[in-house]
Amino acid sequence: MRVADFAEALCNECLHEQPAEVIGEEAWMLLQKNRDAYRNAESLELAQRITHLQRLHSQGQALPCQTVEANPDQQQLALICPVCAQEASVLFDIDWDVDVDHREGIIKGVYPDATPAALTCGCGFTLSTHNEVRCLLGDQEEEMCELALSNLMDKHQ
């Protein structure tokens, strides 16, 4: 999955070409097929775990999830917890991309990038890996990353 993501980012951002044009249509389709299969399997595993945790929560049992704590550098956004249907927090890591003109020795710009890092809820449900949170967010990921960046910029104005 990461190979396809990396190839796609490299082609789009650095070469300004479509991956199929650079890698070849057949090879790109195979990479996409493998990436999609991996994501579907990851989604199924997470869905089964959430179903199990919902059952435990409804029985009043403590959830067997590892503790996740936010650090001050992370952005937080609210999301409805898939286990208890209450408000949970999605934590975003913010990385900074510095655009440098090496010949002139000057910084041309600094651009933030948000990555979903973890999820935590008062019911005890947590997700502690980037891939799990991405899987849970699904189609909302890009929108939530943009919102996290927007909140960050609003704080610094």
What's the pLDDT score for residue 41?
Answer: 47
What's the pLDDT score for residue 143?
Answer: 94
CB-based contact 102:44 (threshold 8 Å) = no
Residue 55 and residue 34: Cα distance in Å, rounded? 32
What's the pLDDT score for residue 148?
Answer: 93
Residue 91 and residue 54: Cα distance in Å, rounded? 22
Residue 109 and residue 55: Cα distance in Å, rounded? 49
What's the pLDDT score for residue 101?
Answer: 83
What's the pLDDT score for residue 144?
Answer: 94
* Coil/strand/helix, residue 93: strand
Residue with tokens 């010949």: 103
* Coil/strand/helix, residue 118: strand
Residue ranges per structural domain of the chain: 1-61, 63-157
151 burial level (CB within 10 Å; 0-12, 13-18, 19+): middle
153 burial level (CB within 10 Å; 0-12, 13-18, 19+): exposed
List, run by run, the mean pLDDT of 10-residue segments along the chain (157 residues).
68 77 84 68 74 90 88 93 97 90 85 94 93 92 93 79
